[in-house]
Structures are given as structure tokens and as C-alpha cells.
């Protein structure tokens, strides 16, 4: 493998049109789980100029459309959209959520001696590496941190003149396979009409500096802020948003494969979400145990079948068939059925809106059970090998 190289990842803020849709879809999911924690939800959101449309399949308690609409408007308000082309107060809202297919339910539900099956076929990946304290690739972590810091400053009004819609891109120089310094940073952020490109750069530069490691400088010749020169019209008014279009932002920034299935708006019977979470949990604990500097795990499922069809482990080095020992250990100790994963990680709680922006991985496990898959409480299992 190459030792010296540049690798780039990007992130988007909660005000990005696609991320706004992810947040809405996960807020709807949380609403259903808060009323019945075994609700089945697959919620898709579309947002465009002063219009939001929900569609998807539900099996759970009856919730009036007005309650869902109020929830959606409040989420948009919290993000900061009261602009002419996208205003939480006046936008049109359409709700086309409907009942889940009985055929899907038949394959997923447990009955008699049949275990609960996976909600769909598919492949899911989990990844971890030891190049950051979060056990995540450095480019995606710092892309997230920059936008999260800017959002916090904007909402607290510590900085004035920036809008909710923004994107970051961080390129990092790797030396001997380890992140060494910043090669370039690209930031595009929505701003008020009266600000020019230099004004925006002066606002964001100190915030970005604080988000980076103390010994990493922003390269003056490769620091690009609003490269087009102007970004006044933003959000869904400037670009239509859809749930599930930022799956690489949600995961590892392109440093690891992605199975293709989005997370947001899906309840945890959908292995697109729950199996990706448990694969990350396994990979992170394995790397934290010291067995390898990085680890990739793939799980595959078939709709209606409980246990994974296959498990693949890659430690990126020849460790005398250690991957086979790991697979055997996982099979003996971890129930990777959808029900087993939900029980292990406590996924039936309304914890999902927090995941929808700034990454599903590399976050802190919270007291309410959010980001349980980031816990290191499985590390001792792999230390026994």
C-alpha cells in the first residue's frame, strides 16, 4: 500500500438540502419510536423551493398529519430557514406516508419457530482505524468538525452573516501511512447579500483554525472559501434535497466501501442501518483492542432471513489467518440477527435525529443510548485472541 499520499473527504452542514431531508426523515422516525418502540418506518423526504414532501411506509401508531407537519416545520426552524425561498412558516407541506406492505411484513416478522428476518437484502460495511482518537479517518472527522463548529457559532450568534447551507472539503497529507498535515481546505457557505468573498473568509478562518489540531496550519495558498465568489441563494431553494444522498458523508468519507443503502428515515429492522452500525461497533472495538491499525468488516443479508449470509473481515495485513479466528469469535459471541443487533445496541429508542448530521460514526456515546455502536465495551472480547 502507498505510504505517502493525499486523501480528501467532504462533509455538509445540517442546512444542506440533502441533510435537511435526512434530519426530517429521522425526526419522523423518532416520533414513531417515541410512541411505539417497535414501529416500522421508512420515511423519505424531498425539499425544494418552499415545499416539503414526505413519502414512505409506516407500521405503527396512528399519528395525525398535523402533528407530523408541526414537527417538520419546527425542525426546519431550528436549522435556521426563514428565507424568502424556503421559510418554515409558509412552505407547502405534503404527507404521503402510508401503510407498510404486508408482503414485506410477512418476511420480516417472527412467527412460530421462525425468527425475525432482515428487512431487505444487502451488504453493509463497518470500518475503523487508529489515526484519530475517534478511530475514524482524519479527513472526514475534520470536515465534520469544521462545519459543526461553524453551525454552533452561527446559532449562538457569535458570528453573523452566514446561512445554514454549507459544505467543507479537507485534503490531508499522509506520511508513512499516517495523517501529517493539511494539504488544502475548501469551504462553501451561504452568506448574507452584503458580504463579499473576503468578508466570508475573515469570518470563517478563526473558527476553522480552532477545529483543527493545534499543530496543523491552514495552508494560505490552498484555502478556498466560496470559490465561485458568491453563495447567497442556498438550501432547498437553490438545490433540491432528498433523503439518503449523502451516504459517504454519513460514513467514512470514501476511505472505506459503502454497501449502498442509506440510513436516515429507516427503523432498525432495516439492516441497511442496524447492520452498518454493528459492523462499525465490531471494527472499532477490534482496532481499539490493538489487534490491527485498521479493520474493515462486511455483513450480508437476505430479506426474511435472520442471520447474515456472510461475514468478511479485512485487517489489511497478513496475520496468519487471524481474520478467520475473528469471524469464529464473532459468530460464537454476537447475535447478528436484526433482533439481536437491536437488543445489543438498544436501537429501538428514539435516538436517530442526532445521527443525521455530522456523521453516524466517530461520535460520543450518550446517556440516552445515542451512538451506542461507538462504545468500546466489546474491546475485551478481541483482546482474548
Facing residues of 169 across strands?
A: 10, 186
The predicted structure's pLDDT at residue 319: 74
pTM for this model (two decimals): 0.95
Q: What is the pLDDT of residues 283-312, one digit of tens each?
A: 999 999 999 999 999 999 998 899 999 999
Q: What are phi and psi of 324, to 5 degrees?
A: -65, -35
* Average pLDDT score over residue span 51-60: 97
Q: What is the pLDDT of residues 146-196, one digit of tens each?
A: 999 999 999 999 999 999 999 999 999 999 999 999 999 999 999 999 999
The predicted structure's pLDDT at residue 276: 98
Percentages helix, strand, coil for the chain, rounded to the nearest 5?
A: 35, 25, 40
Q: What is the pLDDT of residues 91-104, one digit of tens each?
A: 999 999 999 876 66
The predicted structure's pLDDT at residue 289: 96
**Residue 73 grid coordinates:** 416545520
Q: Work out whether the CA dihedral 369, 370, 372, 375 comes out positive or negative.
A: negative
CA–CA dist 198, 278 (Å, integer): 44
Q: What are phi and psi of 142, to 5 degrees?
A: -75, -25
Amino acid at each position: 500500500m502507498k505510504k505517502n499520499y493525499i486523501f480528501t473527504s467532504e462533509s455538509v452542514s445540517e442546512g444542506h438540502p440533502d441533510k435537511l431531508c435526512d434530519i426530517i426523515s429521522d425526526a419522523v422516525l423518532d416520533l414513531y419510536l417515541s410512541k411505539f418502540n417497535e414501529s416500522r418506518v421508512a420515511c423519505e423526504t424531498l425539499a425544494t423551493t418552499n415545499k416539503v414532501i414526505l413519502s414512505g411506509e409506516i407500521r405503527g401508531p396512528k399519528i395525525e398529519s398535523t402533528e407530523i407537519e408541526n414537527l417538520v416545520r419546527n425542525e426546519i426552524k431550528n436549522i435556521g430557514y426563514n428565507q424568502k425561498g424556503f421559510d418554515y412558516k409558509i412552505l407547502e407541506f405534503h404527507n404521503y406516508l402510508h401503510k407498510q406492505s404486508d408482503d414485506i411484513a410477512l418476511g420480516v416478522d417472527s412467527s412460530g419457530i421462525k425468527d425475525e428476518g432482515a428487512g431487505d437484502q444487502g451488504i453493509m460495511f463497518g470500518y475503523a482505524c487508529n489515526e484519530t482518537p475517534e478511530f475514524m479517518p482524519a479527513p472526514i472527522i475534520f470536515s465534520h468538525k469544521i462545519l459543526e463548529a461553524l453551525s454552533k457559532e452561527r446559532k449562538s450568534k457569535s458570528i453573523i452573516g452566514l446561512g445554514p447551507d454549507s459544505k467543507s472539503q479537507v485534503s490531508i497529507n499522509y506520511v508513512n501511512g499516517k495523517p501529517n498535515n493539511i494539504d488544502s481546505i475548501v469551504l462553501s457557505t451561504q452568506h448574507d447579500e452584503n458580504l463579499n468573498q473576503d468578508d466570508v473568509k475573515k469570518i470563517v478562518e478563526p473558527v476553522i483554525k480552532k477545529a483543527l489540531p493545534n499543530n496543523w496550519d491552514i495552508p494560505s495558498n490552498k484555502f478556498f472559501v466560496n470559490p465561485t465568489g458568491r453563495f447567497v441563494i442556498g438550501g432547498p431553494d437553490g438545490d433540491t434535497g432528498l433523503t439518503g444522498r449523502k451516504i459517504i458523508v454519513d460514513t467514512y468519507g470514501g476511505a472505506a466501501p459503502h454497501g449502498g443503502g442509506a440510513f436516515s428515515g429507516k427503523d432498525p429492522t432495516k439492516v441497511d442501518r442496524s447492520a452498518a452500525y454493528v459492523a462499525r461497533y465490531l471494527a472499532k472495538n477490534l482496532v481499539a483492542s490493538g489487534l490491527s491499525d485498521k479493520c474493515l468488516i462486511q455483513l450480508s443479508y437476505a430479506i426474511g432471513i435472520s442471520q447474515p449470509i456472510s461475514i468478511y473481515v479485512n485487517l489489511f495485513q497478513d496475520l496468519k489467518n487471524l481474520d478467520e479466528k475473528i469471524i469464529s469469535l464473532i459468530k460464537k459471541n454476537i447475535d447478528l440477527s436484526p433482533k439481536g443487533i437491536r437488543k445489543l445496541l438498544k436501537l429501538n429508542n428514539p435516538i436517530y435525529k442526532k445521527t443525521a448530521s455530522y456523521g453516524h460514526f466517530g461520535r460520543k456515546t450518550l446517556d440516552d443510548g445515542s451512538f451506542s455502536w461507538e462504545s468500546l465495551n466489546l474491546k475485551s472480547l478481541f483482546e482474548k485472541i
